[in-house]
Amino acid sequence: MAEAVIGQLVVTLGAALAKEAVTFSWDLLWKEASVLRGLFGKIRASKVELESMQAYLQEAERFKDTDKTTAIFVGEIRALAFQIEDAVDEFTYKLEEVKHAGGFAAKIKKRLKHIKTWRRLSAKFQEIEGKLQNAKRRKKDYAVIAGIDRSASAARSMDRGQALHFTRKEDLVGIEENRDVLIRWLTGGGVGDVLEQRSSKVTTVWGMPGVGKTTLVAHVYSTVKLDFDAAAWVTVSESYRLDDLLKKIAAELGIAVDVANIEMRVLAESIHNYLQGKKYILVLDDVWTARVWSEIRNVFPTSGCTGQFVITSRKHEVSLLATREAAIHLEPLQEHHSWVLFCKGAFWNDDHKECPLELQTLARKFIAKCQGLPIALACIGRLLSCKPPISAEWENVYSGLDSRLANDVIPDAHMILKVSLEDLPYGLRNCFLHCALFPEDYVLRRKAVMRQWISAGFIREKENRTLEEVAEGYLDELVNRSLLQVVERNYAGRLKHCRMHDVIRLLALKKAKEECFGDVYNGSATVAFSVGGARRISVQGGNLEQLRRSGATHLRSRIKMLPREVFDLFNLRYLGLRDTNIESLPEAVGRLQNLEVLDASHAKLTYLPNSVVKLQKLRYLYAYGVPGALDALEIFMVRGVKVPNGIQHLAGLHALDCVKATPDFLREVTALTELRKFTVCNVRSEHSADLSNAVTKMSHLVHLVIAAEAESEVLQLEGLYLPPTLSWLGLAGQLDKTSTPQIFSSWSHLSGLTRLQLAFSNIDEGTFSCLCLLRGSFPKLRFLLVGGAKQLNRIGIEEGAMQNLVELWLGLCPELEFLPDGIEHLTALEKLLLHDTSEELVEKLRRQRDSDECSGDVMKISHIRYVTVALTQKGLLERIR
């Protein structure tokens, strides 16, 4: 992980050097200029040195666990990198302090004072450079032994990888159905029958590390390989070479060639000729990239023979290589299967392999900790089998289970995670370790995690993609690599919530602590806690006294508390006040010059201090209240936060949510052209022109919500032009009935709109038809909410409109007596919610649901999986389907 630290530090050094030209444009004192030139020179030299070192460290990371010399060197480099980072942080802080010193005399005074600081920091860089050269010299002096150990460890690693596919039948617990399916596919049944007699078929098995992919395939392979003329099993490393892979295949097939000296082209021809006319099977175990298959597929004959290929992988993208639907996704075991596997390990020498009654409560605690991961269940069961089967012994094991899991109980899991980490690019690696700092079983919210990664500096723009797009790509990649598990996807199919398996988290936490990336403080007074060199501490308990005594003075951030010392944290990037009772922020918040995220969602702020406009690096500003208000049609309960004059200075803002509309604010917000999310509340009719003008200039806008001050307020939005980038649109407040058709017509270019909410918009049958009557309208719309439409009595949807709609919410529409005409054409619709529509419609659907007759209305919604009706005043909430 040292190269990850170096990679991020190189970026920090680059940012510091970017200040050089600006600094020397000041009217500097002669001594000040001289010292600063030397200091910038040392920063530049450090950057060049570290850039050269990064590539070496990436390779060295693979061997430091078996090479003591390399491990010591990597640790030294990491510690020196942290020293450089601290020095650069102090340097940039002092520069900013001079910049904001006030008048000319104050600036001169500050500069004279800082000359000593510049000299001290210059000496610090000189000292670090000396230590770095000494570390490099020592590494070079002792590199010979390291090279010998490296070769031996590589051989041991290869032997271990090849040995993993020898399994026992008793290990097959909870995957019998998948075993039968796989056997059927490989022997000509199931998918093979409908593949039109293709000469080669690819089957994939994928899932998270330790879930049993190799165990499943190994058992099936041993069962069916005698049905083939030729069979080969090859474990593919993440850093495979094509020629080595072909040599392994040839050796497994028993092809009589001199694999040591043969050319790759000749070797490929030998394999092709050998398999010609044969029925053969090849297992490629632990494949890391789909490129493997594209590079070797042409080696194998495609006519006059039958080839079966089985690929295992922890990556979803590799699973897509499967022929049609011949892919198996292995999930963690269900509870009853976990129980069976655990008992088979813990009581392997018992004829019945049953858990004694007095140990069953403890056994279930062990099983819950494993969360269905077979490798953990088997290893913990093996550990307990060596202990006397008495409660006291098992209690002792459980009390230290977390440390055991993270150390020596699951060596195979250690190897699995180590290889997974080595394959991660340094930016993605930091993101993964950051996820481990959240509490056990914590559900990670996509947007919140992305914001924290960005503010921590883990994400960099690349290939014309925004930071948010890169961060979301990283999150998807961790899911693709099975290092995070999907908990929920939203209506558009995007990842919404995910989590980290507890065993993976424990192993990742151990790695994070070893690499000084971070540690977790749970507030326990009984467990000694030492910050050590950790750069981040996740505070997950209320007892902060021990943390104070631990000397945590070098941390990069602190969370879950807001003492006055917070405003001295120059490097603070993320200030999270979500769900707190904080009613105001002091002017001191303006001192947090590096702050990128201010999240006061669901707090009690009513205004922001004047100094907030000094936070020119601020990227996200959230200050809305009333959880779920936008979805619950309680939009008028929301009161936006009042922002001070000068908001136009925050030109880098990407999110501004939720702000009280005032004439001054709406005129200033026109300067915020980088906004992606904008929520404005308390809008009055007289604000409409300024609001339309502001939104029209937000050409990157993705998420827009406009809420009127009251239900009776009319929004005059005829002049509002919405950018084609818009994905989410919410309007709360009346629309002028005469101009509504024109407004809806102006949305025809919003082909990317996925969510539309119209609350209290005074919409009726005629205006609704203008919204979604046309064939092909809103092709990507997935969620539609129409609420507070007191005059809406009928809805018509023409065939071809909103073809991808997944959820339809119709609420507070007391005159709506009929199901929407054409609802049967919405074939993708999965949820229909009819809340506080007419009582006649609700009672009619309830009667038809309970009737044995096939009524027309029930038939119209028979394709919808989830239909609910509600009448609030009667306390009725029922599911129709």
Residues 237-268 pLDDT 10s: 777 888 889 988 998 998 877 767 788 888 99
Residues 86-110 pLDDT 10s: 888 888 887 777 665 556 666 667 6
pLDDT > 80? residue 764: yes
Q: How far apart are CA 372 and CA 398, in angstroms?
A: 17
pLDDT at residue 625, rounded to an integer: 60
pLDDT at residue 742, rounded to an integer: 86
Cβ count within 10 A of residue 158: 13
User: Could you tell me the pLDDT band of residue 781, with boundaries at 50, 70 and 90?
Assistant: very high
Q: How far apart are CA 117 and CA 90, in angstroms?
A: 9
Q: How far apart are CA 126 and CA 387, in angstroms?
A: 56
Hey, CA dihedral for 125, 128, 134, 135, is it positive or negative?
Answer: negative
Hey, CA dihedral for 256, 259, 260, 266, is it positive or negative?
Answer: positive
pLDDT > 60? residue 767: yes
Q: Check if the beta carbon of residue 752 is closer than 8 Å to that of residue 729.
A: no
pLDDT at residue 554, rounded to an integer: 52
Q: How far apart are CA 675 and CA 130, in angstroms?
A: 46
Q: What is the average per-residue pLDDT within 621-648? A: 69
Q: How far apart are CA 14 and CA 47, in angstroms?
A: 7
pLDDT at residue 167, rounded to an integer: 53
The chain-wide mean pLDDT, for the chain, equals 82
Compare 739 and 521 and report the one with higher pLDDT.
739
Q: Give the range among 514-523, 624-633, 840-849 with minimum mean pLDDT.
A: 624-633
Residues in the chain: 881
Q: How far apart are CA 841 and CA 834, in angstroms?
A: 9
Return all residues near 24 (Cβ < 8 A) that are at least 6 apart.
33, 36
Q: Check if the beta carbon of residue 538 is closer than 8 Å to that of residue 437.
A: yes
pLDDT at residue 622, rounded to an integer: 92
Q: Check if the beta carbon of residue 740 is closer than 8 Å to that of residue 691.
A: no
Which among 548, 547, 570, 545 has a CA at the least distance from the CA of 557? 570
Residues 833-858 pLDDT 10s: 999 999 999 998 888 888 777 677 88
Above pLDDT 70, what percent of the chain?
A: 83
User: Could you tell me the pLDDT band of residue 552, with boundaries at 50, 70 and 90?
Assistant: low
Q: Where are the alpha helices (DSSP H) in 678-728?
A: 688-696
Q: What is the average per-residue pLDDT within 753-768? A: 87
Instruction: Return the HEC string of 345-379.
Output: HHCCCCCCCCCCHHHHHHHHHHHHHHCCCHHHHHH
User: Could you tell me the pLDDT band of residue 156, with boundaries at 50, 70 and 90?
Assistant: very low
Rg (CA), the chain: 32
pLDDT > 50? residue 193: no
Q: How far apart are CA 634 and CA 787, in angstroms?
A: 10
What 3-state DSSP class applies to 150? Answer: helix
Q: How far apart are CA 252 and CA 795, in angstroms?
A: 67
Range from 30-34, 265-269, 504-508, 531-535 that averages highest in pLDDT: 265-269
Residues 530-544 pLDDT 10s: 566 777 888 776 555
What is the DSSP code string of 198-227? -SEEEEEEE-STTSSHHHHHHHHHHHHGGG
Residues 392-436 pLDDT 10s: 888 888 887 766 665 655 556 666 667 777 778 878 888 999 999
Name residue 735's beta-bridge partners: 715
C-alpha distances in Å from residue 828, one per residue of 36, 424, 706, 805? 64, 37, 28, 6
Q: What does the DSSP 8-state code read for residue 465?
A: B
pLDDT > 90? residue 645: yes
Axis crossing angle, helix 335-346 with helix 360-370, rounded to the nearest 10 = 110
Pairing of strands 703-708, 728-732: parallel
End-to-end CA distance of the chain: 52
Q: How far apart are CA 341 and CA 569, in angstroms?
A: 50
Range from 97-106, 134-143, 510-519, 614-623 that averages highest in pLDDT: 614-623
Q: Give the range among 76-85, 98-107, 449-458 with minimum mean pLDDT.
A: 98-107
**622: enclosing H helix or E strand:** strand 620-622
Residues 121-142 pLDDT 10s: 888 888 888 888 888 888 777 7
Q: How far apart are CA 521 and CA 538, in angstroms?
A: 6
pLDDT at residue 465, rounded to an integer: 86
Q: Check if the beta carbon of residue 271 is closer than 8 Å to that of residue 300.
A: yes
User: Could you tell me the pLDDT band of residue 629, with boundaries at 50, 70 and 90?
Assistant: very low
Q: Which two tokens stand for residue 406?
A: 């993270």
Separation of CA 97 from chain center: 36
Q: What is the average per-residue pLDDT within 261-285? A: 90
Q: Check if the beta carbon of residue 26 is closer than 8 Å to that of residue 57.
A: no
* Residue 360 backbone phi and psi in degrees, to 5: -65, -35
Q: Check if the beta carbon of residue 644 is closer than 8 Å to that of residue 612.
A: yes
pLDDT at residue 628, rounded to an integer: 42
User: Could you tell me the pLDDT band of residue 696, with boundaries at 50, 70 and 90?
Assistant: very high
Q: Check if the beta carbon of residue 394 is closer than 8 Å to that of residue 362.
A: yes
Compare 7 and 130 and report the one with higher pLDDT.
130
Which among 842, 790, 844 has a CA at the least distance from the CA of 814? 790
Count of CA atoms in the C-beta half-sphere (13 A) of 188: 6
C-alpha distances in Å from residue 147, one per residue of 53, 63, 69, 139? 18, 10, 10, 11
Which among 418, 311, 330 has a CA at the least distance from the CA of 374? 330
Q: How far apart are CA 117 and CA 49, in angstroms?
A: 24
Q: Check if the beta carbon of residue 125 is closer than 8 Å to that of residue 38.
A: no
What 3-state DSSP class applies to 599? Answer: strand
Q: Residue 7 is which amino acid?
A: G
Q: How far apart are CA 829 and CA 861, in angstroms?
A: 9
What 3-state DSSP class applies to 230? Answer: strand
**328: enclosing H helix or E strand:** strand 327-329
To the question of pTM greater than 0.85 for the whole model, the response is no
pLDDT at residue 666, rounded to an integer: 94
Pairing of strands 703-708, 714-715: unpaired
pLDDT > 50? residue 458: yes
Q: What is the arrangement of strands in the sheet containing 200-206, beginning at the earlier edge strand?
A: 230-235, 279-285, 306-313, 200-206, 327-329
